[in-house]
Amino acid sequence: MNTRKPGTVLVVGATGSVGRHVVAEAVRQGYITRALVRDASRAGRLDAGAQKVTGELTRVETLADAVADIDAVIFTQGSSYGDAAAAEAVDYGAVKNVLLALGGRRVRIALMTAIGVTRRGSTHDWKRRSERLVRASGNAYTIVRPGWFDYQDDDQLEITLLQGDTRHAGSPADGVIARHQIARVLVDSLASDASDHLTFELVAGHGPAQESLKPVFQALDKDPAGSLDGVRDRPNMPADAEP
């Protein structure tokens, strides 16, 4: 069973390397697609079928037009690895600010973080904190932790979902996935009951692409009700020790 398909989708991080694919995929699937851009002059490479709205994801007061009447939001923004201040402001801050701008209004959320996000002691901690915000928000959500972008072989087309975040090599050995595949998973998740309250790592397996991702979503375990962490995540981030 599928949920009612959202009408208007906001893409945060729309001009990034994954965000551009998400915008195109959302337009292709028939969504009213709104791309948040910091500078309208940078929006020329986005799909012509998308609406462009200017705003600064680190400043909540600029996001009113972006979130007006949206039904869903896909987060694909990302900071430079190793820059703690940017990670807090972008990886975490964008999620916080969009939720604040929504003012408690419920929307469907798809959040992209990263494989290995539960390994402590790096700027990925801020991505994990953004996951916690989403889980605590009361919204329907899907949290996607993709592997390394575009390192896959030509025959690695099968969408493969993992849970527990156990791969911490810090290299493509953790798993690989194409940007367009990430976009498909994020957009497909918006209209699926099976993907609600799921957290998973996303990699590509050898084999053909699935026609439908519904059975792939259905094979996973949902996050426990009320939990700040993904199902089977290691309990290595005590809430009472967090900033």
Query: pLDDT digit string (tens) for 70-104?
Result: 999 999 999 877 788 999 999 999 999 999 999 99
Identify the pLDDT of residue 3.
Answer: 54
What is the domain-level CATH number for residue 112?
3.40.50.720
Identify the pLDDT of residue 4.
Answer: 59
User: Is 3 domain-assigned?
Assistant: no
| DSSP 8-class letter at 32 | E
Structural contact between residues 23 and 49, judged by C-beta atoms closer than 8 angstroms: no
| pTM for this model (two decimals) | 0.96
Query: Which of 1-10, 39-48, 86-95, 226-235 shows the lowest per-residue confidence on average (mean pLDDT)?
Result: 1-10
What count of residues does the chain have?
Answer: 243
User: What are the tens digits of pLDDT across the range 149-159?
Assistant: 999 899 999 99
User: Is 2 domain-assigned?
Assistant: no
Q: Which domain holds residue 84?
A: 8-241
What percent of the chain shows pLDDT beyond 90? Answer: 88
User: What are the tens digits of pLDDT across the range 128-140?
Assistant: 999 999 999 999 9
User: Is 51 domain-assigned?
Assistant: yes
Grade residue 58 by pLDDT with cuts at 50, 70 and 90: very high
Distance CA 174, CA 176 (A): 7
Q: Count other C-beta atoms under 10 Å from residue 126's C-beta.
A: 24
User: Is 156 domain-assigned?
Assistant: yes
Query: Which of 77-86, 98-107, 192-201, 224-233 shows the lowest per-residue confidence on average (mean pLDDT)?
Result: 77-86
- Counting Cβ atoms within 10 Å, is residue 144 exposed (0-12), middle (13-18) or buried (19+)? buried
User: Is 59 domain-assigned?
Assistant: yes
Identify the pLDDT of residue 129.
Answer: 97
Q: How many domains does the chain have?
A: 1
Average pLDDT, the chain: 94
User: Is 67 domain-assigned?
Assistant: yes
Predicted confidence (pLDDT) at residue 1 exceeds the cutoff of 50: no
Strand-pair category, 158-162 with 198-205: antiparallel
User: Is 101 domain-assigned?
Assistant: yes
Identify the pLDDT of residue 238.
Answer: 93
- Counting Cβ atoms within 10 Å, is residue 152 exposed (0-12), middle (13-18) or buried (19+)? buried
User: Is 1 domain-assigned?
Assistant: no
User: In sequence order, which ranges of the chain are alpha helices (DSSP H)?
Assistant: 19-28, 64-67, 84-86, 93-102, 124-136, 179-189, 214-218
